[in-house]
């Protein structure tokens, strides 16, 4: 069965610090997809990135970067030079090729302190 | 495009009452989903649909029903509201199901007293 674990419930860092959000997943499929979503205080959920299981290249988008490692079943998310606007709950999610469901982790609440 | 819309935004129900949460999307997406978000518990899938006329259960379907008569609409029905159904409900749609990003509505905050 698929499972997503975000062990960090809550993290606080001072603005401009770098921060990494951890995501560990479990799946029996060889083909699967991993996602990160952001939920700011306003409540809506915003898609950040998708990665398929055959693409282990790390990705960078501005201050955001993602590290996908199949060997450790992890898909970690790093924010460089954090800003107050990065304060939000971040969700990691997993879907398997043979299933239309997407399973979300419990989320990590990130506080960026000015 | 309005994207994914949900009504109402807030609702208070008494135990045993029924209601329908409305969800509509104007992006012609085949895939639609209903989630509930309890504090500190992430998102749990209630029901989903891969196209008009097709629905399937998610992780927590008990106490809910859905229908999908059109591509655009995916209403969620609560028949006999219970306090355990107090939650924030999100509807989402996707153009490509498991492989694609989901577009979320703004949510409905439901309280059952």
Residues B101, A107: C-beta atoms closer than 8 Å: no
Q: What H or E segment, with its residue span, contains residue A16? A: none
CA distance B26 to A51: 26
What is the percent of chain B with per-residue pLDDT over 70, rounded to a whole number?
100
Residue B98 confidence (pLDDT): 72
Q: Any idea what DSSP says for residue B16?
A: T
B39 touches chain A (CB under 8 A): no
- In this predicted structure, the answer to whether residue B84 has a pLDDT above a threshold of 90 is yes
Q: How far is A81 from chain B (nearest CA, A)?
A: 26
Q: What is the mean pLDDT of chain B?
A: 94
Q: How far is B14 from chain A (nearest CA, A)?
A: 25
Residues A97, B98: C-beta atoms closer than 8 Å: yes
Residue B96 confidence (pLDDT): 81
Q: How far is B28 from chain A (nearest CA, A)?
A: 18
Strands A10-14 and A108-113 come out as parallel
Residue B67 confidence (pLDDT): 95
Per-residue pLDDT tens digits for A75-85: 999 999 999 99
B14 touches chain A (CB under 8 A): no
Strands A74-79 and A46-52 come out as unpaired
B40 touches chain A (CB under 8 A): yes
Q: Tell me which residue in B42, B88, B98 faces A95 most closely, judged by beta carbons.
A: B98
Torsion of CA A103, A97, A56, A47, to 10 degrees: -40
Angle (CA) A72-A19-A30 rounded to 5° is 25
Is the Cβ–Cβ distance between A66 and A59 less than 8 Å? yes
Asked whether the CA dihedral A56, A60, A61, A63 is positive or negative, the reply is positive
Q: What are phi and psi of A69, to 5 degrees?
A: -130, 105
Per-residue pLDDT tens digits for B62-72: 999 999 999 99
Residue B53 confidence (pLDDT): 95
Q: Which chain A residues are Cβ-neighbours of B33 within 8 angstroms?
A: 102
Q: What 3-state class would DSSP assign to B50?
A: strand
Per-residue pLDDT tens digits for A19-70: 999 999 999 999 999 999 999 999 999 999 999 999 888 888 899 999 999 9
Helices (H), chain A: none
Helices (H), A8-114: none
What's the full length of chain B, in residues? Answer: 113
Q: Any idea what DSSP says for residue A85?
A: G
Per-residue pLDDT tens digits for B9-52: 999 999 999 999 999 999 999 999 999 999 877 899 999 999 99
Nearest CA-CA partner of B6 in A45, A50, A91: A45
Task: Annotate B53-78 with DSSP letters as a single string.
Answer: TEEEE-S--TTEEE--SSSSB--EEE
- In this predicted structure, the answer to whether residue B55 has a pLDDT above a threshold of 90 is yes
- Here the tokens at position A11 are 């993290």
Neighbours of A59 (CB within 10 A): 13
Residue A100 confidence (pLDDT): 78
Q: What is the mean pLDDT of chain A?
A: 93
Residue B41 confidence (pLDDT): 79
* CA A23 and chain centroid, separation: 6
């Amino acid at each position: 069965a698929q499972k997503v674990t975000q062990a960090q419930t809550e993290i606080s860092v001072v603005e401009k610090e770098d921060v990494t959000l951890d995501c560990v997943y479990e799946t029996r499929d060889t083909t699967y997809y991993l996602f990160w979503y952001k939920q700011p205080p306003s409540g809506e959920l915003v898609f950040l990135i998708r990665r398929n299981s055959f693409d282990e290249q790390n990705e960078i988008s501005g201050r955001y970067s993602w590290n996908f490692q199949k060997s450790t079943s992890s898909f970690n998310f790093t924010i460089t030079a954090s800003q107050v606007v990065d304060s939000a709950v971040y969700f990691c999610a997993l879907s398997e090729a043979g299933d239309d469901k997407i399973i979300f982790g419990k989320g990590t609440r990130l506080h960026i302190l000015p | 495009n309005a994207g994914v819309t949900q009504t109402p935004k807030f609702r208070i129900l008494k135990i045993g009452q029924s209601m329908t949460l409305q969800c509509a999307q104007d992006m012609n997406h085949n895939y639609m989903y209903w989630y509930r978000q309890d504090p500190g518990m992430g998102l749990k899938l209630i029901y989903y649909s891969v196209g008009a006329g097709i629905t399937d259960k998610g992780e927590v379907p008990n106490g809910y029903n859905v229908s999908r008569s059109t591509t655009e609409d995916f209403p969620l029905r609560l028949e006999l509201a219970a306090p355990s159904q107090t939650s924030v409900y999100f509807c989402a749609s996707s153009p490509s199901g498991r492989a694609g990003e989901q577009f979320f509505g703004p949510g409905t905050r439901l309280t059952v007293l």
